[in-house]
Structure 1
């Protein structure tokens, strides 16, 4: 997904970050899981997207 403009403030600069809280498969209790990657606007902080870093583990 390519983001051209923030829907909240019309900002055009974005960054990516993670909170290091992993998402784990429901049926695999001992899985390490995968990080969530957030894309957010640098002007207002609006989160534009959230994606899973390694979806193949699911």
Structure 2
């Protein structure tokens, strides 16, 4: 599956974006002691609208 990156903010039509995290990890539901992976937010620099959220390291959620 190919990811389409937003080139224009759906809220304000801005075209400048940045990425950041809140440093709270997403953890697998069935692995309570897992360190999980950070969420990465992509947001518009004009209005702050979040246009995407992704997990930094999705491999941590694979079953072994």
TM-score for the superposition, normalised by structure 1: 0.97
The aligned counterpart of 2:53 is 50
Distance 1:4 1:19 in 2: 23
Q: Across the two proteins, how many residue pairs are aligned to each other?
A: 58
Structure 1, unaligned runs of 5 or more:
none
Cα RMSD after superposing both structures: 0.6
TM-score, normalised on structure 2? 0.88
Q: 5+ residue gaps in structure 2?
A: none
Q: Residue 52 of structure 1: CA displacement?
A: 0.2
Where has structure 1 moved over 6 Å in runs of 4 or more? none
